[in-house]
Amino acid sequence: MHIPPVLAPTLLAAIPSAGLAVQVARRCAEGAPPPPLPIAAGVVAAFAWAALAIQPIPILIVSLGLGWSLVCLAAIDVACLRLPDILTLPLIGAGLGLAALLPGRPVLDHVAGAAAGWGALAALALIYRRWRGVDGVGLGDAKLLAAAGAWLGWRPLPSVVLIACAAAFVWVGFQAVRRGRAALGDPLAFGAPLCLATWIVWLHGPLSI
């Protein structure tokens, strides 16, 4: 396997970035701080993954910012079932700004992606609340999927949702095996699999059918 020369400096950059991610996640989690080791490991893994998958240095740099944000959001969501606007909204803006700057990325596709991501989950949240009388899908998830659409465009969004649902299904199944049927009643931090799915599609493209 070819080891890209950017891997070593990328891993060095991951060390202070991991420390910053731990601090940001702790502040945003509001009384339910996530453990620091998984956050640090997630940042290092995301940085290494990006360095191995991406060749152009400018794209690698923006990818590291995306990966860092997704790790923070996933950790916060797992800790307290919350996706703070202070991270999701700038991520939407960054994705749209990147689409405007990079050649070959139609800005309208990314604007449509952000709108479709928000609209799909916001509509699902409204339907669920009217049907069950309680919140089942958070608007933070809608903002996160809007960020995915801003970065990826509207066409890859079905792949993001499909991968996220598959990851969530595996996680729920694992918890059910480990803890029994009681685990099936626990609330699901769907933002974490959404973050993973967004990262996979950003690095490797949408699923091919």
Task: Check: CB of residue 136 under 8 Å from CB of residue 122.
Answer: no
In a domain, residue 92? The reply is no
pLDDT at res. 5 = 87
Full residue range of the structural domain in which residue 189 is found: 104-209
In a domain, residue 98? The reply is no
pLDDT in tens, 151-190: 999 999 999 999 999 999 998 887 777 766 666 667 778 9
pLDDT in tens, 92-106: 999 999 999 988 788
In a domain, residue 25? The reply is yes
Quickly count: other Cβ atoms within 10 Å of residue 122's Cβ: 17
Task: Check: CB of residue 141 under 8 Å from CB of residue 121.
Answer: yes
4 pLDDT more than 90: no
pLDDT in tens, 27-85: 988 777 889 999 999 999 999 999 999 878 999 999 999 999 999 999 999 998 889 99
57 and 134 together in one domain: no
User: Where does a domain end: 16, 51, 82?
Assistant: 82
Residue with tokens 């740099």: 61
118 and 55 together in one domain: no
Using CA atoms, how far apart are residues 71 and 199, in angstroms rounded to an integer?
A: 10
115 and 209 together in one domain: yes
Mean pLDDT, the chain, whole residue set: 89
Residue with tokens 């991610």: 21
207 and 111 together in one domain: yes
pLDDT in tens, 138-149: 788 999 999 999
Task: Check: CB of residue 57 under 8 Å from CB of residue 50.
Answer: no
Using CA atoms, how far apart are residues 18 and 24, in angstroms rounded to an integer?
A: 10
135 pLDDT more than 80: no
Residue 171's closest CA among 191, 157, 146?
Answer: 191
* DSSP-assigned letters across all residues of 30-56: TT-PPPHHHHHHHHHHHHHHHHHH--S
Predicted model pTM: 0.92
pLDDT at res. 136 = 56
5 and 73 together in one domain: yes
pLDDT in tens, 113-132: 999 999 988 887 777 667 66
pLDDT at res. 208 = 76
196 pLDDT more than 60: yes
Give φ, ψ of 108 to 5 degrees.
-65, -35
pLDDT at res. 184 = 63
Using CA atoms, how far apart are residues 79 and 82, in angstroms rounded to an integer?
A: 8
DSSP structure class, residue 189: -
6 and 72 together in one domain: yes
